[in-house]
Amino acid sequence: MFARVLTPVPDIPLQERQRPQSKARILTRIVASIATLTLAVAVLFRSPSDFRMSVCIIVSLAATALAVRSLFTGKFLWAMLFLGVLGVFTPFHRTQFSHFVISMLDMATLALMAASPIILGKFTNPFVLKPANAHVVIPRR
């Protein structure tokens, strides 16, 4: 008895489906790396207030980009966490936190930014159907 093997054929080639995903992942890693490096310098060296403003601007831009990326990947809890970072590091108002609290927030945000490429690494879209790996075998009579 011969069996016919049917395999699903996707409409879009695999390379074209993964191209936008890899560009977004690369952009996420670049933004997170810049924010991580900036926060590491801010944590290691006590900086003047002028440098603090640029730290807030860089971290705010990175938090915005990572929140948007989290929303697009369907990770809403992480998006809320990045929006919270955006609220803390917004450069439009001066906060009256102590130096100790600012250092703790910097270190927590540093850990979050360093882990963000791992957190947002895989693209999980519930609306995209993936072809099955198993083959359908239909017996012939």
Kindly state the percentage of the chain with pLDDT values over 70. Answer: 68
Range 118-124 average pLDDT: 67
Q: Kindly write down the DSSP assignment for every residue of 8-27, as one continuous string.
A: ---SS-HHHHHHHHHHHHHH
Question: Is pLDDT of 126 > 60?
Answer: no
Q: How far is CA 107 from CA 38, 40, 42, 117, 128, in A?
A: 11, 8, 9, 17, 37
Total domains in the fold of the chain? 1
Q: Are 71 and 87 in contact (CB under 8 A)?
A: no
Higher-confidence residue of 14 and 95: namely: 95
Report CA 60 to chain centroid distance, whole Å: 14
Question: Is pLDDT of 128 > 50?
Answer: no
Quote the domain boundaries for residue 76: 3-139
Q: How far apart are CA 58 and CA 31, in angstroms?
A: 9
pLDDT at 102: 84
Higher-confidence residue of 84 and 131: namely: 84
pTM of the full structure: 0.67
Q: pLDDT, tens digit, for every residue of 7-31? A: 555 555 555 555 555 777 788 788 8
Q: pLDDT, tens digit, for every residue of 38-90? A: 989 888 887 666 788 888 899 999 999 999 988 988 889 999 999 999 988 88
pLDDT at 129: 42
Question: Is pLDDT of 103 > 60?
Answer: yes
- Residue linked to tokens 């801010």: 42
